[in-house]
Each structure stands twice: as C-alpha cells, then as structure tokens.
C-alpha cells in the first residue's frame, strides 16, 4: 500500500455526518403518499398477514417482511411504520458502504467521495423511502462486506473472529430479506479462499499461521462465512413454521425453495416497466413508482439513476480493470468483481421479468469504482484534478435537480414532470 494511503486519517466522523444528513432527508415527508404505492401493495399487506401467521407473498424470503411487520406492531398500521425499516436500513447500508471503501482502500478522499456518490445516486435514496424488500437486502449486504473487509484489517485474531461472526450474521439476514444479494454474499468466502491459496498454494489446509487472517483456519472461515449465514437465513423462516395453512417444515429446506423458485418463475406476463441489464447500465429504462394527484398535490416518484454519476461510473470500469491488472489495486479489483457478479446474476439467470431496481447493488459498487477513479485524478497536478472535483459537484447538483421527482414533492402542475423527462424512455 502506498505510504500516503497508509498514513491517511480515517474520515469516520465525516462518514457519520453524511449518513445522518442522508437519513434526515430520507425521513423528510416519508409518510407521503399516505397510501400504498408501487410494490408496497404486495409487501405491506403480506407483513400485516404475517402478524396473524397467515401466509402471503411466499415467493420471497421472510426477514424483510418480518421487519415491516415488527414496525407495524410497535408503531401502528401507518405510512411511517411501513417505511421506517427501509429508511434505517438505507442509512445503515450507506454508512457500511463508507466503511467498506475505507477498509478496502485506506484512502480518505475516495471514502468520502464514495459515500457522497451513493447518497446522491438517486437509487439508494428512492429505495430507502419505500416499503419494499430491496433496501433490507442491500443494506445488510453492505454491513456483511464491511465486516469482512474489517476482519482482514483486524490487528488480533479475536477481533477478526468477532468481525467474521458479524459478517456471517449480516450475510444470512441479507439473503433472508431477498435473494438479489446472493452473488455479493458469496464473495467473502471466495476471497478468503483465494487469499489463502495465494499465500499457501494448494496446501490450504493444515498449515499453522497461514493467512489471510492469522489464527483463523479455513474450516473456521467456512463456518462463519458459509454454514452460519445459512443457519441464520433458515432461522428467519421460524414464523412460517407456525402458519395455520401450509406451514413450512423445519426440515423442508429444499422443498421450500423449490416451491419459491416455482412461484418466481411463474411470473411471465409482460410488464410495461420490464427492462434488461444492459439498459440499466446506461440509465435507459426507468420506473414510475407514483404519478397522480395524491395528498392534496400532483406528485411523482420515478425510479431513476443519477443522470451524471451513473453514466460517469461506466468510465471507471475499464480503469478499474487496468488498475487491478497493472497497478495491483486490490480495492478496484474487489469492487469490480462485486459489480460484475451482481450484474451477471440478472444477465444469466433467465428470470422472465426484471426491473431497473435490480441494479441497486451493482449501481452502488459502481459508485465505489467511480470514487476510486476520482481519487486517482485528485492525485494529479493538472486539469484532471479539477475534472474530478467538477464530477463530484455535478453529481450532487444532479441529485438536487431531480430531488422533486424522486421524493414525491408537490409539483406546480401536472405537466411539470416534463422538465425531467430528458429521454423518451423515461416517460
């Protein structure tokens, strides 16, 4: 690691500050609209039925619906209760993402830039304000990755072990919220194995003191990063084992998932917002979550990526590949693999109906890659340094420009939405 990176000060306080500001903005008018919108019509009623142990929405795992149900139980059946869980998960995920970037890169500027870029990439903000499962899954995924990266940096075996246990817990709960994070959740275990092989060659078992974490054997790593997350995942199905109608068998792990896959694959009817992974990369096909006169005003909420940063991030992909191959930038390699793995899931899984919000995790890792590229440009003493600063500023400005149409703010008149419709495919 370069000396400048080794000596960089941890921007923990700034990361907390950005996270708090993000959470306050997410909570502002979070109860508007005061009725269900978009996929809340599926998940909130399912959470309400879960409180009475009535099965619903059985094609998805349990944990996200359990969190929504818990909030409704304590806060009442109202919009704040429906959406407070995703809001807190979005803030937690943003902070975890900032710590992940810090532990990967040890670069102060890159960490702060990545935090700001994710907070303003629109997607993370929008999904933090709606009662869907995606932010539970994405936020906990970031926590798991953060804890694994921190385990690799831990100074003692005990600290590393605690981090690995927390990593396994977060990985299991993320998968228990939604399966979309599965490719990213496999990465800590694969990374541990790859780092072990790099140090020990094919003799990966039995060698004392072998890395990547001294004192943590391959068997123990398999426990915390493989077996433990699956046990946590299955434990979240406990309420379903007490359904009065068709309860889940405690020993029916395989049968339950065969049934869930069957339900998911049964959705084949064309949808007007259906899109494909290569369209997500260029911000081509958005989703209108809401557009109508509601709560005394015309309002719109469009699921869109930041028009600048989500496209600028694509320039970071070839740079990251070059940096990983020729500059041994393991931070760039890690984020590039996470981006590719999460996107490839949708490119190859054959699910007939896919949507832009499935780009939530790949888009987040793309922001990390863009931050590393901007950090590299800031090290230069020429015009590129100002390009980097301008790029970060433009990302913030674009978020501010699109804020009314991603937050459900009152529009002055119905056709005002045309101001933001820069492409025909955004309509």
Q: Give the pLDDT confidence of 188-202 residue by residue, as tens digits.
A: 999 999 998 887 766
pLDDT of residue 112: 98
| Per-residue pLDDT at 3 exceeds 50 | no
CA angle 64, 360, 163 (to 5 degrees): 65
pLDDT of residue 254: 94
Domain boundaries in the chain?
3-132+236-426
**CB within 8 Å of 108: residues ≥ 6 apart:** 8, 9, 10, 11
Dig out the tokens for 62 from the structure: 């349990």
pLDDT of residue 50: 96
What is the tens place of the pLDDT at every residue in 233-270?
A: 999 999 999 998 899 999 999 999 999 988 887 777 77
Q: Which residues pair with 291 in a beta bridge?
A: 300
Q: How far apart are CA 212 and CA 68, in angstroms?
A: 38
Q: Are 411 and 299 contacting, i.e. CB atoms less than 8 angstroms apart?
A: yes
pTM: 0.95
Q: How far apart are CA 330 and CA 187, in angstroms?
A: 14
| Per-residue pLDDT at 348 exceeds 50 | yes
CA angle 348, 125, 233 (to 5 degrees): 55
CA dihedral 53, 54, 55, 61 (to 10 degrees): -30
What is the tens place of the pLDDT at every residue in 50-90?
A: 999 999 999 999 999 999 999 999 999 999 999 999 999 99
Strand order in the sheet with 297-303: 287-294, 297-303, 410-411
**CB within 8 Å of 325: residues ≥ 6 apart:** none
Q: Are 241 and 248 contacting, i.e. CB atoms less than 8 angstroms apart?
A: yes
**Burial class, 407, CB count within 10 angstroms (exposed 0-12 / middle 13-18 / buried 19+):** buried
């Amino acid at each position: 690691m370069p000396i400048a990176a080794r000596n960089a000060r941890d921007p923990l306080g700034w990361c907390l500050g950005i996270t708090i500001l993000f959470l306050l903005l997410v909570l502002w008018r979070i109860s508007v609209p005061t009725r269900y919108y978009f996929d809340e019509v599926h998940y909130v009623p399912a959470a309400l039925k879960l409180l009475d142990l009535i099965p619903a929405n059985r094609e998805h795992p349990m944990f996200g619906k359990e969190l929504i149900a818990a909030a409704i139980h304590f806060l009442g059946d109202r919009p704040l209760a429906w959406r407070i869980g995703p809001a807190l998960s979005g803030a937690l995920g943003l902070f975890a993402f900032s710590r992940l970037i810090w532990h990967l890169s040890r670069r102060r500027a890159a960490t702060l830039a990545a935090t700001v870029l994710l907070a303003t990439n629109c997607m993370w903000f929008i999904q933090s304000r709606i009662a869907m499962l995606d932010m539970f899954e994405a936020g906990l995924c970031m926590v798991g990755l953060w804890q694994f990266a921190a385990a690799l940096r831990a100074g003692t075996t005990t600290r590393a072990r605690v981090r690995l246990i927390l990593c396994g817990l977060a990985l299991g709960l993320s998968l228990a919220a939604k399966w979309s994070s599965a490719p990213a959740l496999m990465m800590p275990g694969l990374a541990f194995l790859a780092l072990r092989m790099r140090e020990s060659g094919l003799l990966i078992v039995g060698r004392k003191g072998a890395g990547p974490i001294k004192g943590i054997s391959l068997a123990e790593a398999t426990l915390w990063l493989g077996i433990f997350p699956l046990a946590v995942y299955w434990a979240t199905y406990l309420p379903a084992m007490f359904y009065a109608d068709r309860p889940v068998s405690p020993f029916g792990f395989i049968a339950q998932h065969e049934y869930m896959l069957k339900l998911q694959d049964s959705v084949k009817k064309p949808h007007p917002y259906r899109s494909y992974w290569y369209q997500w990369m260029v911000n081509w096909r958005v989703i209108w979550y809401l557009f109508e006169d509601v709560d005394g005003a015309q309002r719109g909420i469009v699921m869109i990526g930041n028009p600048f940063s989500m496209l600028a991030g694509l320039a970071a992909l070839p740079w990251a590949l070059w940096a990983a191959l020729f500059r041994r930038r393991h931070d760039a390699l890690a984020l590039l693999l996470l981006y590719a793995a999460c996107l490839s899931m949708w490119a190859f899984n054959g699910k007939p109906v896919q949507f832009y919000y499935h780009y939530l995790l790949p888009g987040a890792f793309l922001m990390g890659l863009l931050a590393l590229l901007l950090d590299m440009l800031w090290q230069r003493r020429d015009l590129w340094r100002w390009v980097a600063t301008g790029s970060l500023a433009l990302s913030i400005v674009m978020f501010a420009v699109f804020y009314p149409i991603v937050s459900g703010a009152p529009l002055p008149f119905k056709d005002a939405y045309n101001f933001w419709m820069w492409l025909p495919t955004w309509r």
